[in-house]
């Protein structure tokens, strides 16, 4: 009973209740023709379309493809972004010179480069992953630098008092202190990677969920379009909660 009461009063329950209310409003709005059925799908129809999409389009494999592409892009972004941000922190001149350029590149519509990537890497998974990697690596590098710059001088002095070597100083003192800022960049990077990956799949009709969204849209299958978009949202939720779990374990007590 206590666990039930805790759940009912939790933010998660409030969020779930808000989604249910929104779904009910859409259900009534489309059924009563307040919202055009040519544009919006009733939530019950979208859920019912999942079985058809699985049978005809391979929805579950497409979900795993988009999930895997996003994971690959994120791993590459972490391997480049965190060391890149650390380098910009250690070399102050580089950081001051290039942070503004990185921020401007992050704001640019990188997805428009997809014809160049198709020419260089072909119409395959490599192009999709690399198109997701670029917008993911930039915010990770920027927030890593900002997190390291924001470390209190007291923590650094404590590390020096224990005569830590530079590697131990980074991994035992500096990185844990910068974890909140780094994971802010990771969350931004994952979302932008997913947006670019689904956009490329949609544009070139290749890959996972973006391909299904494209097929459903051009066939005017409104419930199927919303059902496939729902699975795109599920990919985002998986990464959001996954990285939140990792952050809670890396964040210093």
DSSP assignment string, 180-246: HHHHHHHHHHHHHHHHHHHHHHHHHT-SSHHHHHHHHHHTT-HHHHHHHHHHHHHHHHHHHHHHHHH
The model carries a pTM of 0.83
The single-letter DSSP state of residue 171 is I
Give the closest residue to 182 by CA, choosing from 84, 73, 102: 84
Q: What is the pLDDT of residue 80?
A: 94
> What is the average pLDDT across 158-175?
82
> What is the average pLDDT across 44-55?
85
Given a cut of 60, whether residue 220 has pLDDT beyond it is yes
Q: What percent of the chain has pLDDT over 70?
A: 94
Q: What is the pLDDT of residue 245?
A: 85
Given a cut of 90, whether residue 112 has pLDDT beyond it is no
- Average confidence score pLDDT of the chain: 84
CA distance linking residue 82 with residue 100, whole number of Å: 17
> What is the average pLDDT across 244-253?
76
CA-derived radius of gyration, the chain: 22
Give the closest residue to 132 by CA, choosing from 68, 87, 183: 68
SS3 assignment, position 18: helix
- Domains of the chain by residue range: 2-31, 45-250
Given a cut of 80, whether residue 8 has pLDDT beyond it is no
Q: What is the CATH code of the structural domain delimited by 45-250?
A: 1.10.3720.10
> What is the average pLDDT across 85-95?
87
Please answer whether residues 50 and 39 qualify as being in contact, where contact means their C-beta atoms are separated by less than 8 angstroms.
no
Choice among 8-12, 54-58, 212-216, 226-230 with the minimum mean pLDDT = 8-12
């Amino acid at each position: 009973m206590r666990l039930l009461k805790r759940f009912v009063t939790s933010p998660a329950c409030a969020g779930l209740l808000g989604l249910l209310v929104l779904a009910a409003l859409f259900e009534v709005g489309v059924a009563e023709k307040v919202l055009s059925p040519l544009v919006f799908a009733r939530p019950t129809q979208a859920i019912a379309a999942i079985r058809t999409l699985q049978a005809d389009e391979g929805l579950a494999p497409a979900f795993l493809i988009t999930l895997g592409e996003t994971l690959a892009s994120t791993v590459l972004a972490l391997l480049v972004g965190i060391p890149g941000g650390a380098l910009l922190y250690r070399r102050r001149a580089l950081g001051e010179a290039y942070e503004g350029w990185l921020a401007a590149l992050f704001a640019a519509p990188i997805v428009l480069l997809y014809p160049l990537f198709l020419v260089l890497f072909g119409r395959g998974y490599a192009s999709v992953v690399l198109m997701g990697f670029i917008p993911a690596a930039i915010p990770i590098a920027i927030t890593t630098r900002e997190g390291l710059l924001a470390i209190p001088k007291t923590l650094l002095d404590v590390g020096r008092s224990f005569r830590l070597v530079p590697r131990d100083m980074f991994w035992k003192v500096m990185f844990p202190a910068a974890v909140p800022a780094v994971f802010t960049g990771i969350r931004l990077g994952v979302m932008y990677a997913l947006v670019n990956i689904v956009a490329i799949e949609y544009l070139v009709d290749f890959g996972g969920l973006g391909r299904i969204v494209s097929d459903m849209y051009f066939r005017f299958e409104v419930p199927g379009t919303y059902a496939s978009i729902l699975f795109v949202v599920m990919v985002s939720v998986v990464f959001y909660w996954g990285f939140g779990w990792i952050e809670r374990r890396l964040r210093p007590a």
